[in-house]
Amino acid sequence: MRPVSARALASLARSACAPPRLSVCSPRDGVFARVWRAEGAGACPPATHAFLPPPLSSLTSTNPLSPPRVTLIIIITTIIRIHLFTSGPFSINRHVRYNDTGHTCTHACFNTLPKEFHETMIVVINFFFFSTTYFTMPESREDSVYLAKLAEQAERYEEMVENMKRVASSDQELTVEERNLLSVAYKNVIGARRASWRIVSSIEQKEESKGNETQVSMIKTYREKIEAELAQICEDILDVLDKHLIPSAASGESKVFYHKMKGDYHRYLAEFATGDKRKDSADKSLEAYKAASDVAVTELPPTHPIRLGLALNFSVFYYEILNSPDRACHLAKQAFDDAIAELDTLSEESYKDSTLIMQLLRDNLTLWTSDMQDSEKPTEAAAADAPAAEAKGEEAA
């Protein structure tokens, strides 16, 4: 037997005591590999590349899940890793070799299987771990409602919209609270942009009157950006209404609420649209308001807040979009008079909401009749091609 020198023994001892570390290898044949190796002074022979899944820490660092769900995913993936890499054809063998200088090199590798089989299984396992990392578990209905309330308190209305949109897409009848949260969320998101559009449009008109073409061009680009945001928000809620909320509405109150909402958001589209787009939005808004009115007349009392809110917004549509102040005033006055006649039957629950909307109806009537006396009536033909002017009437939420 060949004697081992003292120098070789000392070198071997240093190598054995050195802690192993994980080194990331370069990709081979499109597959990344990681190998364990022991530190030593001599060079190790080429290692057999083996696939090891990404570290568990990547689950918590890239996936915004709640702690219990992260823990569940970690437990499941850990069990699968242990099964795959410690037993069966995927078990990891640790091969110990001595190189020319007597140092040890330890490598992790698969059992000897065809290369194609290795690559196929690596793709499958990779997909599993990445899908576990990036595909989140859906929030419960209660969680989404709670987060929507939280977002409302924080005045983060875009997030409020996302949470309530998740609830609304469940194809189940919404509660009164959920319905109101959905309405408030979209109302705040769209309201801010409607106000921005009116301000920018007013500035654009002033610059045009001054002949400042450079400024007008910049303002036009900015206005179109706001209009794109408005269109996206309106189309988003209209899609939810048509696909989920209106088909699942069971009560007359819900049907009126959703058809009124549909009419409102088509009206918002008509406010800034021109030409055929404006006419199309106006027609769809009118159709939705009429559908809501048909149900409201038969199933809701004249003092019901939703029926009064429908009359208020429908009259604003006639005045601003169709430029028909006569019909607007007639509708508003009819709703106000019907509610006054049955005011003694008003319940305490809806008294505050109903009387507030009745006050808005009366304010609009006063404003519109005054405008009709002070100026000429705009024609409907002109309204078909021109964007709606700044709102002159108040509307319900």
- 3-state SS, residue 173: coil
**Pair 109, 50: CB distance under 8 Å:** yes
Which of 33, 61, 30 minimizes the C-alpha distance to 47? Answer: 33
**Pair 125, 90: CB distance under 8 Å:** no
CA distance 92 to 115: 16
Positive or negative, the CA dihedral 232, 235, 241, 242 is negative
CA 35 to each of CA 46, 95, 107, 130: distance values in angstroms, whole numbers, following the listed order: 11, 12, 6, 21
CA distance 160 to 182: 8
Instruction: For helices 176-210 and 141-153, give the axis angle rounded to 10 degrees.
Output: 40
Q: Enumerate the domain spans of the chain.
A: 6-134, 140-248, 257-397
**Pair 101, 11: CB distance under 8 Å:** yes
**Pair 153, 144: CB distance under 8 Å:** no
Selected from 1.20.190.20, 1.10.357.10, 1.10.3720.10, 1.10.10.10, the CATH number assigned to the domain covering 257-397 reads 1.20.190.20
CA 322 to each of CA 47, 317, 337, 379: distance values in angstroms, whole numbers, following the listed order: 78, 7, 23, 9
Beta-bridge mates of residue 96: 106
Instruction: For helices 115-134 and 67-86, give the axis angle rounded to 10 degrees.
Output: 170
Instruction: For helices 157-168 and 213-240, give the axis angle rounded to 10 degrees.
Output: 30
CA distance 314 to 272: 18
pLDDT at position 343 is 87
- 3-state SS, residue 36: strand
Tens digit of each residue's pLDDT (9 = 90 or more) over 42-90: 444 444 444 444 444 444 333 444 445 555 555 665 565 555 555 555 4
pLDDT at position 359 is 96
> Which portions of the chain are predicted below pLDDT 50?
9, 12-13, 15-67, 90-111, 132-137, 378-392
Output 172-179 pairs: Cβ under 8 A, ≥24 positions apart: 172/248, 173/248, 173/249, 173/250, 173/251, 173/254, 174/245, 174/254, 177/145, 178/145, 179/254, 179/257
Distance of CA 50 to the CA centre of its chain: 40
Q: Which fold has domain 140-248?
A: Delta-Endotoxin; domain 1 (1.20.190)
Return the exposure string of 123-132: e unless at least 16 CB atoms fall within 10 Å of the residue's CB, then b.
eebeeebeeb
Alpha helices for the chain (secondary structure H): 6-17, 57-62, 67-86, 115-134, 141-153, 157-168, 176-210, 213-240, 246-248, 252-272, 275-299, 305-320, 325-341, 348-374, 380-385
Count how many residues are written for the chain.
397
pLDDT at position 362 is 96
Domains 140-248 and 257-397 equal at CATH topology level: yes
Phi, psi of 245 (to 5 degrees): -75, -50
Q: Give 168: exposed, middle or buried? Use CB within 10 Å, 0-12, 13-18, 19+.
A: buried
Determine if residue 142 is left, alpha or beta; phi over 0 gives left, psi from -120 to 50 gives alpha, anything else beta. Answer: alpha
Tell me the pTM.
Answer: 0.64
pLDDT at position 346 is 83
**Residue found by looking up tokens 């992790």 in the block:** 108
**Pair 18, 40: CB distance under 8 Å:** yes
**Residue found by looking up tokens 């007013």 in the block:** 202
Strands 93-98 and 104-109, how do they pair?
Answer: antiparallel
